[in-house]
Amino acid sequence: MILFRSAFRVWPAAAVVAAASVCFAGTGSRRAPQGAASLPPVLQAMQDELQRSVDAYGKADPPSYFISYTLSDLDSAEVSGSNGALLSSDETRDRWLEVQTRVGSYQLDNTHKIEGREPAWTSPGTEATLDDDVSLLHREIWRETDRQYRAAVQAYIGAQTSNEVQAQSAEQGAPDFSHEDPHVSIGEPVGFHLDRQPWEQKVREYTAAFSASPAVLNSIVTFTARSANQYFVDSDGSRLAFGQIRYRLELFVQSKAPDGMDLQRYANFDWVDPSKEPTDAAVLDQVRILTQQIVALQQAPLVEPFAGPTLLTGRAAAVFFHEVLGHRLEGFRQKDVSEGQTFTSKINQQILPDFITVRDDPTTNDVNGQVLLGYYPFDDEGVPAQNVILVDHGILKNFLMGRSPLVNFPHSNGHGRRQLGYQPIARMGNTIVESSKTMSNAALRQLFIEEIRKQGKPFGLLIDDIAGGFTFTGRAQPQAFQVQPLIVYKVFPDGRPDEMVRGVNIVGTPLISITKIIATGDTPEVFNGYCGAESGSVPVSAVAPEILISEMEVSKKEASTDTPPILPPPAHDPLAKVKQ
């Protein structure tokens, strides 16, 4: 199995996941009624060229039984600052054309995985002209279709041979592609108008506020505005035009402990309505909190490996479920014999406590007014997003499905997703954990302390924030996960104040860890981020209440051997000030 990145991105890079198994105005999106007759010129050109290709390649030998075209039109602006100064400020626009030609049949086609050969996750695509030149777009589609058809023919020949000489498991015998109903939805294009100058000043001010503390080695603040308009047609009859706008502000601060351990804190603000951008006061308050936490982490002691009662706040629990459960319920993993297939045969069996329900709902765009990054109207295979009940009161009911069907799950449920340049596979959107055994967070903490006493442990661990993590899902590696906490406290049963500690990772195996949940809080919390896996980095959200786990294991975190700088920062060095 290949190495991939998973979970939630933290600046500057996504948390690693290994497969064994982050001053302006804008316009909103409006969708035309289903079946709207008027097509944008770009979509009309795609439709016309599609019909020409279907007529030709459908009669070729071997024939192409399915063709789709996707044109993604992206605008982005980014302003980044560090330590009180501007790092960069720019705007870019890109267009990306993807052509999919499937040769063979729904049962067996050119995408069929050949054992012993890793699949090519990169997408059949190419850069497209930024001009709305219909004749040139026709030409680009024509060239790319011919190139992809020829490549598909070669792959199909290999798939036929492999299918004849290699044994196929039941799941491998499932069709390579699913039949889906066509959809027509034409929305108006979205876009934003941005004056970057105010944001250039803001990132200077925010990072300068970080630098006011001598504990801070480095700080980076990045503001990003992105609009994405997607046009999609396929030979089944789907015609889609829709767009989304996202705004994000990321705060990142670095420091070092006296023993050399790297310390970092991260926070982000996400919004889609320009009027909902965070105020300076809100951002500077978050800067203050992150700085205080960095100072506390410098002074915090290391904690030794431990197994015992653990309380996860809502944000931490959200990441925990994403890593431990979510990736293992992605449909394509049930089909691949190189995968561990932890839950493949457990449909209608209990895998969680009976008070836990888990669903993935990319049709929901916010929870209690907080934006969910995993929202989208249609997935990257042209299927409408759907709310999918994965686990119903502890019983496994479904998998996340794209258009790669399973024996008992013949259809997509709108979760075929990808980053540009990758092929869509089943991925999470908004993973939502719900509980019927709730109590106030205060009552849950008291139950936590009682559990520590019951087990005779000297303390329990409170996990307050998590950066991300990685999980092994492949058969060749241990079926294990590692989650990377950022803020951890020892909680004592004798009433002593909580003690911040550092240097731990949550580790474990999924079948055991998820069954040890005792109870939950009653207040859902949101974690927004970017999840990296085989189909690239996609925006996701996870929502969960606080959860109490009777036993969780933590191990020592990898540590740097570099000590902190010998001199303090110049602005905090009395001798340096005298010389100025």
- At what angle are helices 196-211 and 280-299 packed, to 10 degrees? 30
29-33, 151-155, 554-558: range with lowest mean pLDDT: 29-33
Determine the Cα–Cα distance for residues 521 and 434; give it in Å rounded to an integer.
10
Q: Are residues 207 and 80 in the same domain?
A: yes
pLDDT band, residue 16 (cuts 50/70/90): very low
Determine the Cα–Cα distance for residues 509 and 515; give it in Å rounded to an integer.
11
Domain that holds residue 344: 306-556
Report the pLDDT value the prediction gives residue 470, as an integer from 0 to 100.
57
Determine the Cα–Cα distance for residues 431 and 391; give it in Å rounded to an integer.
11
pTM value is 0.87
Q: Are residues 398 and 489 in the same domain?
A: yes
**Paired strand residues for 444:** none
**Paired strand residues for 339:** 474
Residue 561 falls within a domain, yes or no? no
Which of 252, 284, 299 terminates a domain? The answer is 299
CB-neighbour burial class of residue 209 (10 A; exposed 0-12, middle 13-18, buried 19+): buried
The letter for the amino acid at 297 is L
From residue 87, alpha-carbon distances to 90, 192, 211, 442 in Å are 10, 22, 15, 44
Q: In what order do the strands lie in the sheet with 388-392?
A: 395-396, 388-392, 356-360, 430-435, 536-544, 525-533
Q: Are residues 322 and 448 in the same domain?
A: yes
Structure tokens at 348: 């209608």
Q: Are residues 338 and 240 in the same domain?
A: no
Q: Are residues 129 and 193 in the same domain?
A: yes
Report the pLDDT value the prediction gives residue 324, as an integer from 0 to 100.
86
Number of residues that this document lists for the chain? 580
Closest CA to 168 of 180, 157, 160, 179: 160
Q: Are residues 279 and 320 in the same domain?
A: no
In 192-313, which residue ranges form alpha helices assigned H by DSSP? 196-211, 280-299
Determine the Cα–Cα distance for residues 159 and 258; give it in Å rounded to an integer.
57
81-95, 415-429, 464-478: range with lowest mean pLDDT: 464-478
Q: Are residues 235 and 331 in the same domain?
A: no
- Cβ proximity of 121 and 169 under 8 Å: no
From residue 316, alpha-carbon distances to 192, 208, 286, 375, 451 in Å are 33, 29, 18, 20, 20
Which of 283, 299, 315 terminates a domain? The answer is 299
Rg, Å, the chain Cα set = 25
Q: What is the mean pLDDT of the chain?
A: 86
pLDDT digits (tens, 9 = 90+) for 332-362: 888 876 655 678 889 999 999 999 999 999 9
Percent of the chain with pLDDT over 90: 68
The letter for the amino acid at 130 is L
Report the pLDDT value the prediction gives residue 185, as an integer from 0 to 100.
97
Residue 520 falls within a domain, yes or no? yes
Mean pLDDT of the region 421-440: 95
By DSSP bridging, strand 536-544 and strand 430-435 are parallel
Q: Which residues contact 46 (CB under 8 A, 6 or more apart)?
A: 69, 71, 137, 141, 231, 233
Tokens 């896996």 correspond to 533
Distance of CA 189 to the CA centre of its chain: 25
Residue 2 falls within a domain, yes or no? no
Report the pLDDT value the prediction gives residue 123, as an integer from 0 to 100.
67
Structure tokens at 460: 């329990």
Does 525 score more than 50 pLDDT? Answer: yes
Greatest Cα pair distance in the chain: 83
Report the pLDDT value the prediction gives residue 580, as an integer from 0 to 100.
44
Q: Which residues contact 392 (CB under 8 A, 6 or more apart)?
A: 357
Sign of CA dihedral 322, 323, 324, 329: positive
Report the pLDDT value the prediction gives residue 569, as an integer from 0 to 100.
83
Which of 259, 275, 299 terminates a domain? The answer is 299
pLDDT digits (tens, 9 = 90+) for 280-304: 999 999 999 999 999 999 999 998 8
Determine the Cα–Cα distance for residues 544 and 542; give it in Å rounded to an integer.
7
Structure tokens at 142: 């024509």
Q: Are residues 269 and 326 in the same domain?
A: no
Q: Are residues 279 and 318 in the same domain?
A: no
Report the pLDDT value the prediction gives residue 456, as an integer from 0 to 100.
96
Residue 400 falls within a domain, yes or no? yes
Q: Are residues 366 and 395 in the same domain?
A: yes
| Total count of domains within the chain | 2
Residue 563 falls within a domain, yes or no? no
Residue 500 falls within a domain, yes or no? yes
| Cα angle, residue 61 at apex, residues 58 and 66 outer, rounded to 5° | 35
Does 32 score more than 50 pLDDT? Answer: no
Q: Are residues 295 and 313 in the same domain?
A: no
Residue 438 falls within a domain, yes or no? yes
Specify the higher pLDDT residue, 120 or 293.
293
Residue 151 falls within a domain, yes or no? yes
CATH code, 246:
3.30.2290.10
By DSSP bridging, strand 430-435 and strand 499-501 are unpaired
Q: Are residues 178 and 230 in the same domain?
A: yes
Mean pLDDT of the region 359-377: 96
Determine the Cα–Cα distance for residues 475 and 396; give it in Å rounded to an integer.
21
Mean pLDDT of the region 65-71: 97
By DSSP bridging, strand 306-312 and strand 460-471 are parallel
Does 204 score more than 60 pLDDT? Answer: yes
Specify the higher pLDDT residue, 9 or 546.
546
